Homo-oligomer: A and B are copies of this chain.
Amino acid sequence: MSREAAFIAALRGLARHPAARGLLDDAAVLDGLVLTHDMIAEGVHFLPDDPAGDVAWKLVAVNLSDLAAKGAAPAGVLLGYALAADSRWETDFLAGLDAVLAAYDVPLLGGDTVSLPAGAPRTLGLTAIGRTEGPAPSRTGARPGDALYVTGTIGDAGAGLAMAQGLIAADPVLLAAYRRPTPRLADGRALAPVVHAMMDVSDGLLLDAARMAEASGVAIAIELEAVPLSDGYRALNGDGREARLSAATAGDDYQLLFAAPAAAALPVPATRIGAVTAGDGLSIRHHGEAVAPPARLGYLHG
């Protein structure tokens, strides 16, 4: 077990309140409010030369994505900002923050600003607060007989990361998928009354599906050929087995992954990519042929 996993396991022992949902979910639910907090560090979650405005956008968007997975509408954010030594970076950060808050009509409600010792990497925290009208889906509710769905396309942000790292030529659409992801807020609100379990795809489709299976106490089977790919992704990588495995393990998609009754009519477009059955664990097939799960199912920080 990694040190990060060991620390989280110890924290779970302290989180005995029902609203904490055993820290298994990406968000807590309290008095009809959904609360989520993410922290990002330079050199770990963003690159030192990523544009500061994009870092601000992504910090807010990934937290709003957690709200989307709970069917919540954003009500506000609190920012924890550690100042480092580059004023230009901060000016650009503030412009990106203003843009993303305006794009999703989310108020900045408060937070804290601190100064770091010289040379320390930037560390930023964001708390997002959302309101739900109905029950907030968790990742623990998938049931045998459910179908597994995902919104949008998978793998675009992973290709965009390779572009941001200068490994391949940049495509603006894929780069934007990595740097300025779109939280699926309207989809999440529409889906919340229909689904049995929902979460956002942050660390990789396969890894997040495995987490849903474990949290729900069920088995999940994924049909790799059904995983939706964008035209841009196909143009770059094709749509063979390896291209699909790469897309399904890259992470940073911020699409919604959900389990719903197989006969349910869905209120928004989504792609059926698999099935929930009794048992445990994740299995993968490609045109009916079993595929051994890759050693790395997704992106694990640290």
Contacts and interface: CB of A to CB of B under 8 A. Distances in A.
Interface of A: 3-4, 7-8, 10-11, 14-17, 19-21, 23, 25-28, 30-33, 35-41, 43-45, 75-76, 78-83, 87, 90-91, 94, 97-98, 101, 107-117, 120-121, 123, 125, 127, 129, 131, 301-302
A175 to B, nearest CB: 24
Contacts of A19: 76, 107, 109
Given A80-B125, A108-B14, A131 B43 contact: no
A298 to B, nearest CB: 16
Contacts of A4: 83, 113-115
B37 A127 contact: yes
A125 B75 contact: no
A26 B40 CA distance: 23
Contacts of A302: 83, 114-115
A226 to B, nearest CB: 31
Contact of A110 (B16, B37, B115): B37
- 5 closest A-B pairs (Cβ-Cβ)? A115-B302, A17-B107, A28-B109, A125-B125, A37-B78
A33 B87 CA distance: 34
A131 B37 CA distance: 19
A260 B283 CA distance: 66
Contact of A11 (B45, B113, B125): B113
A28 to B, nearest CB: 4
Contacts of A30: 33, 75-76, 109, 129
A7 B113 contact: yes
Contacts of A8: 113
A39 B125 contact: yes
Nearest to A36: B110
A110 B14 contact: no
Contact of A116 (B41, B80, B98, B115): B41
23 contacts: A3-B115, A7-B81, A7-B83, A8-B113, A10-B94, A14-B101, A14-B108, A20-B107, A23-B108, A23-B111, A27-B110, A30-B109, A35-B76, A35-B78, A37-B79, A38-B80, A38-B112, A39-B82, A39-B112, A41-B114, A43-B117, A45-B114, A115-B302
A10 B91 CA distance: 9
A79 B37 CA distance: 8
Contacts of A44: 114-117
A82 B125 CA distance: 10
Contacts of A83: 3-4, 7, 302
Nearest to A26: B110
A110 B78 contact: no
Nearest to A78: B37
Nearest to A102: B14
B80 A80 contact: yes
Contacts of A107: 15-17, 19-20
